[in-house]
Amino acid sequence: MTIQIRSRKVKKLKKTSRSKIFVPWIVFCMYIYITLLLSFIGPWEYLNYNKLLVFVFMTAFLFCGTIAYYYAIKKPVVKKILYENKISLLLKFSIIFSFILYLWMLFNNVRSEGLPEDFSLSDWTTIMAAAYTSSVSESYSFDLAVWIYSYFSIFTVIAMVMGVYVFKQLPNSYKFMVIGIYFINIVNSMVYIGAQKALGDMLIYLISVIALKFCSGQVKFRLKTVIVFSILVFTAVYSFMLILGARLTYWNISVGGSSSLAWVDSSNFLLRFLPENIKAGFLQFLIYASSGYYGLSLSLQLPFQWSMGFGSSFAINDILTRVLTIDATSVPLSYPDRMEIATGWSARANWNTIFPWLASDFTFIGSIVFLCIIIYFYARSFKKALINNDMLSILFFTHFNILLFYVPANNQLFQTRASLVVTLILIFAIFKKKVRLKESTTDLASQQIEPDEMIRKI
């Protein structure tokens, strides 16, 4: 198959896209300040919480991130005009691979755990709580399907993101498999894993694709679309609160109890009008959304001790200790681990935002610089996705929305082996593509050929 591509540098987007180019960053800044505000005035109270220090730090981060985002958006990109557009073999392979892999993992769970007894959709939160309790208490056993997923999940990300993005253009058999991938993942997460992470990641992917299509003008601004989108977000948040509340009920734990470091102000205005049956879930939801800033506050007050590359990621820590045959107890402690020793606030059971993890290897100033680099390429990818519908740019934008969403909680994309591998592959691909583009531009300049006249074949 021959696809002819004509490239030219463009600075301006078409009007529909240009007016929405800063939407992702504006939404992210609003999200950060809302979660920060919840930690300041919400029902959770914290001992020795330095709110001013955290506010200044987060504002400095958003200011630097805004500069990085603005600079990335203002730089011109190479526009590629595709004369022939067909579903790529990579996408087809990814859909087939993911469908088979998710079926395999579901089959293994059914074989080992059996089918659920007395399954009822009305008790789906209790079923998830029981599944989560069972999964975290089980001892490790090797599962080939899970191992393949850990190292080849880039194909599942391609299938879930691009499968939805070009869903209308897919043959019916591939549409069926894309729907099947999401359905199997939901069943597996609800019945056998019990964790909401996979469900949250899928939701972020779906919202990211909708946002891309909306900002590029592929999805028109209609009241119906806004209502459906709002219902989707509200349902997701409400379901999340129900899941957390059911888990606490299943464990017979009272989330509102007092402790030496964090306790609930039952007279807080946010609790006055809430029904009793969702208060526990709401309070636990606020822990996810805002308690990380307290961990950040405690970490910011500690001196820097370099963790030698072991502190910023669970997955990297595990891989390095295995490869280098180092005793895991002998590696330098991360900021959150040292903070737990100093204050008693748990590094693993509680959230501490993304910054203390990154600061363990890069310092707190370095963590801002690191994230600003990510934000730069995130913004570039968003702009390229709007202009070219470029697969790599779409994947980078959607995948790193997970990182941005979890900024108030943890270093999500570097915590598990599967997410780490996908993240490193996308970063490597973006940098490789950037270097290759520079080389192409240099060759054109040396030959004195205008970019508009370049025709290359793939």
Q: Are 164 and 206 in contact (CB under 8 A)?
A: yes
Torsions phi, psi for 450 (to 5 deg): -75, 140
Q: Is 50 exceeded by the pLDDT of residue 451? A: no
**Burial (Cβ within 10 Å: 0-12, 13-18, ≥19) of residue 207:** middle
- Integer Cα distance of 153 and 419 in angstroms: 8
Cβ–Cβ under 8 Å, residues 331 and 376: no
Total Cβ atoms within 10 A of residue 423: 23
For position 2, what pLDDT does the model report? 35
The number of helices, as runs of H, and strands, as runs of E, in the chain is 16, 5
Is residue 441 scored above 50 in pLDDT?
Answer: no
What angle separates helix 23-41 from helix 51-74, to the nearest 10 degrees? 180
Query: Is there a contact between 286 and 38 (Cβ–Cβ < 8 Å)?
Result: yes
Give the other-Cβ count within 10 Å of 90's Cβ. 12
Q: Is the pLDDT of residue 7 over 60?
A: no
pLDDT of residue 78: 73
CB 95 within 8 A of CB 174: yes
Higher pLDDT, 184 or 328: 184
Q: Write out the residue range of the structural domain in which residue 101 sits.
A: 4-457
Tell me the Cα Rg of the chain.
23
Quote the CA–CA distance of 450 and 445 in Å, as a whole number.
8
| Residue bearing tokens 């504002």 | 59
Helix, strand and coil percent figures for the chain, each rounded to 5: 70, 5, 25
Domain count within the chain: 1
Q: What is the pLDDT of residues 298-327, one digit of tens each?
A: 999 999 988 887 778 777 777 777 776 666
Total residue count of the chain as it appears in this document: 458
d(CA 423, CA 299): 26
Asked if 383 and 72 count as a contact pair (C-beta separation under 8 A), the reply is yes
Average pLDDT value for residue range 55-66: 97
Q: What is the pLDDT averaged over residues 274-281?
A: 80
Decide: residue 330, CB within 10 A, 0-12 exposed, 13-18 middle, 19+ buried.
exposed
Q: What is the pLDDT of residue 319?
A: 74
CA angle 191, 91, 452 (to 5 degrees): 145
At position 185, the amino acid (one-letter code) is N
pLDDT of 156 above 90 = yes
Mean pLDDT estimate for the chain: 83
